[in-house]
Structure 1
Amino acid sequence: MVDRYTTLVIDDEKSARDRIIRLTKHFPDTFEIIGEAPNGTIGLEMIENLQPDLIFLDIQMPGLSGFELLERMTAAPLVIFCTAYDEYALKAFEANGIDYLLKPLQLNRLTQTVAKLEQVSTSTISKKELLDVLKDLQQQPQEKKATSFTIKKGDRMVLLKIADILYFEASEKYAYIYDNKGNKHLTEQSLIQISKSLPDSFIRIHRSLMVNFDHVTEVQKYFNRRFVIHLDGKEPLKLISARSAYEQIKEKINI
């Protein structure tokens, strides 16, 4: 076992990389972040050049996937997978002593990873075992994250980019979408349905509100374990979070 793991973070989603790096700061005696890569190709080059002890690795990436990266690398770091695969499909990882983190990464789950690292040596997992397990998981269906929403406008269907959405507001069985141009749209999906296909930047701050933190400009503490969330857009606005979202928001903004 090493006392402090030199660590690379390899994921094509910047928000996912930022989240991993932010949460590893809670364990300065375990992780030493020495770099991050936005795709598998750059990640492979950094692995070979920097020879890290450990990598956080996304499975599904455009270009060079996590599976292809493992096939090509000659170094042998410990691998912690960051994935949207469900927990049932990932039981195989545990059987091989491999750890995994479901997206979005949670601090309590990373705490378990740190405890596991204290018992793991770099010789416990062979490259073949990694590839065999990952090959099985490649057969598992993975839900795709939406990049846009289809909005009905009279007899037209309009595509609204996820990146332009400020927040969703529940309205009985449906939801309203508020974009950064000051528009309000109605979708026939519920918040529960919508949340299954959203990226990590979206947080449910209230039973009826789901906010895109990529558009958050300021977060202020409010009374009774709540926050005032400031959003950008055509006209700046403020939303109040529920007490139930306190810990999740606190973790998101790293306080």
Structure 2
Amino acid sequence: MNTRIYTTLIIDDEAPATTGLKNLLNQFPGTFQVIGVAKNGIEAQKKIEKLNPEIIFLDIEMPGCSGFELLEKLSSIPIVVFCTAYDQYALEAFETNSIDYLVKPVKLERIEKTVQKLKSFHKNKNSDEILTVLKQITSKKEEKKMTSITVKKDSKLIFIKLNDVSFFEADNNYTFINTDLGNYLSTESISNLELKLPNNFIRIHRSIIINKDHILDIQKYFNSRYIFNLNNKKKSSITSGRSFNEKIKTWINY
């Protein structure tokens, strides 16, 4: 049985989630030694290369660089425990170097199961095998063919064509759908929608996903941000978030 202590790095763009997970892991000092946290993929890559953690608790969806994209950049991949709010990647996560998959909000009893799995875990996959699986996952993700979104209004179901959507805007755990024909409220979170939307949509802010086909022009803004002017009826102007700067620059090939 494996009873060693693992050096551990937490990677998550949400500070409350990072703090909560760190507090949980600190309750297992005989298994985890938290040696650092990272709030995005770029910072995580630097800390992994410097600190060489044995285990990473990794959020899948992060601005600028997803958890999968981060793993593709690493020369050597640590043991991975995926930690995210969505369960659709669970199967793929188990096919990689992951020993476990935690769904937020993470509970103490769930961490206890992770500890038990670690005791009998043997790392036997090399980085090439893991990257091959990640490429397969990425290909599957790109195959999504979503063309409309369904919302409930009173006793009716309304089908909204994605081509008519200029942008999505988060409202707590719900999302406003903005179209020239009207605005609608979806019960899906904006992060969940981001996973499903086709490639002509891009998230430019923690709260905003825009339709690239509705962009009139893009202007530079201070603090490495951009202003997106849309061609919808409202002539909306939306300012991007700083943490999405690299993702936006890559898209516009700036």
Q: For the superposition of Structure 1 and Structure 2, which TM-score range results when normalised by the shorter chain?
A: 0.5 to 0.7
**Aligned counterparts, 1:156-195, within 5 A:** none
Q: CA deviation at 1:69?
A: 1.2
Give 1:77-96 correspondences, 5 Å limit. Answer: 77-86=78-87, 89-95=89-95
Determine the structure 1 residue equivalent to 2:124. Answer: 124
Question: Cα offset for 1:111?
Answer: 1.1
CA shift, 1:137, in A, is 4.2
- Quick check: 1:6–1:53 contact (8 Å CA) kept in 2? yes
Q: 1:146 aligns with which of 167, 170, 190?
A: 170
Q: Decide whether aligned partners of structure 1 residues 5 and 145 sit closer, same or farther in structure 2, where only a CA change above 3 A counts.
A: farther
Q: Does 1:197 align with 2:198?
A: no
CA contact (8 A) 1:9 1:55 kept: yes
- Using the alignment, how far apart are the partners of 2:89 and 2:59 within structure 1? 15
Letter in 2 for 1:55: I
| Amino acid corresponding to residue 48 of structure 1 in structure 2 | E
For 1:247, the equivalent position in structure 2 comes to none
Q: Which runs of 5 or more residues in structure 2 are unaligned?
A: 145-167, 177-181, 192-254
**Helix, strand or coil: the match of 2:121?**
coil
Change (3 A) 1:147 1:94: same
TM-score in terms of structure 2 length = 0.53
Partner SS, residue 57 of structure 2: strand
> In structure 2, do the counterparts of structure 1 residues 129 and 107 end up closer, same or farther at CA, with 3 Å as the change threshold?
farther
How many Å apart are 1:97 and its aligned residue? 6.0
Displacement after TM superposition at 1:77 (Å): 1.4
Tell me the amino acid that sits aligned with residue 170 of structure 2. A
Structure 2 Cα separation of the partners of residues 135 and 96 of structure 1 = 11
Name the SS of the counterpart of 2:170 in structure 1: coil
For 2:38, the equivalent position in structure 1 comes to 37
Instruction: Spell out, residue by residue over 1:93-131, the C-alpha distance to the aligned partner (whole angstroms, 9 max, x if none).
Output: 33556221112212222111111111113x323223433
Map 1:1-255; keep pairs closer than 5 Å. 1=2, 3-86=4-87, 89-95=89-95, 98=98, 99-121=100-122, 123-138=123-138, 139-140=140-141, 146-147=170-171, 197=189
Cα shift readout 1:53-99 (whole Å, capped 9, x = no counterpart): 1111111111122122111112331111112332x642343355622
Deviation at 1:40, TM superposition (A): 0.5
> Is the Cα–Cα contact under 8 Å of residues 11 and 58 in structure 1 kept in the other structure?
yes
Q: Cα offset for 1:34?
A: 0.4
- Post-superposition Cα deviations, 1:172-217, rounded to whole Å, max 9, x if no partner, equal xxxxxxxxxxxxxxxx98xxx85x5399xxxxxxxxxxxxxxxxxx
Q: 1:207 maps to which residue?
A: none
Structure 1: where are the runs of 5+ without partners? 152-156, 159-187, 200-255
Q: Is the 8 A contact 1:51 1:75 kept in 2?
A: no
SS at 1:43's partner residue? helix
Tell me: CA distance 1:90–1:42, structure 2 relative to 1, closer, same or farther (3 Å): same
Counterpart of 1:185 in structure 2 is: none
Amino acid at match of 1:146: A
CA-based RMSD: 3.3
